[in-house]
Amino acid sequence: MTFSDGDMAAIWLTVRLAATVTVVLLLLGTPLAWWLARTRSWWKGPVGALVALPLVLPPTVLGFYLLIAMGPNGPIGAFTESLGVGTLAFTFWGLVVGSVFYSMPFVVQPIQNAIAAIGDRPLEAAATLRAGPLDRFFTVVVPMAPPGFVSAAILGFAHTVGEFGVVLMIGGNIPGATRVVSVQIYDHVEALDYAQAHWLSGAMVLFSFLVLLALYTLQDPRTSSLRWGR
């Protein structure tokens, strides 16, 4: 028994989705994590709660409201239609938008914690040398917090790969367009094709184990200090 053409298409689409979402989240989540780690504004609590909301919110609830927002009468749908690209619901880029929202805390929080762990002293020392915020970020934060960024990338990618409820609500089940691995497994089970479901599910179990192994190895102080030269 091997992966079918439909399985391979779903795997490729899932990898493409996860890679795209990870890049977008690193670009958007890094400045947000920097702000959350450094600000003393009262907005920190509400913004942090919004970022962490997908951790406790049922995926179908988030997917439902994003589907409404992406529809022709929703704010996102109205905006994309005004740009002449139509609505994003039931498209690959709709999956990207939904996955960015759903995986946001898995990227923002590791980076935020890594920045907070650096403390104020190194950044204040850089400021006394007339380093601006951007200089302090690239000369202090990035060299001192690589495990946070690597953990964020790994978790963001892996969490996107494992999504089901959000992607099903937003993208439906369109072969080659929105049918990702988790939905493909669901289809095999519905069709009572347990052999193919076992193959894909086993691959997901192995993938999940390797992700956790990489994270635990990365977070082990006995190995991370050698790896990152500290």
Residue 70's nearest CA partner among 62, 50, 103 is: 62
Question: What is the C-alpha separation between 205 and 210, in angstroms, rounded?
Answer: 9
Residues in the chain where the model's pLDDT stays below 70: 1, 129-130, 219-230
CA dihedral sign of residues 119, 125, 126, 127: positive
The pTM is what?
A: 0.87
Rg (CA), the chain: 20
Domains of the chain by range and CATH? 20-179 (1.10.3720.10)
Residue 162's nearest CA partner among 213, 106, 208, 210 is: 208
Residues 82-111 pLDDT 10s: 888 888 999 999 999 999 999 999 999 999
Residue 87's nearest CA partner among 187, 176, 172 is: 172
User: What single-letter DSSP state applies at residue 175?
Assistant: T
Question: What is the C-alpha separation between 131 and 111, in angstroms, rounded?
Answer: 21
What is the pLDDT at residue 97?
Answer: 94
Beta-carbon neighbour count of residue 41 at 10 Å? 11
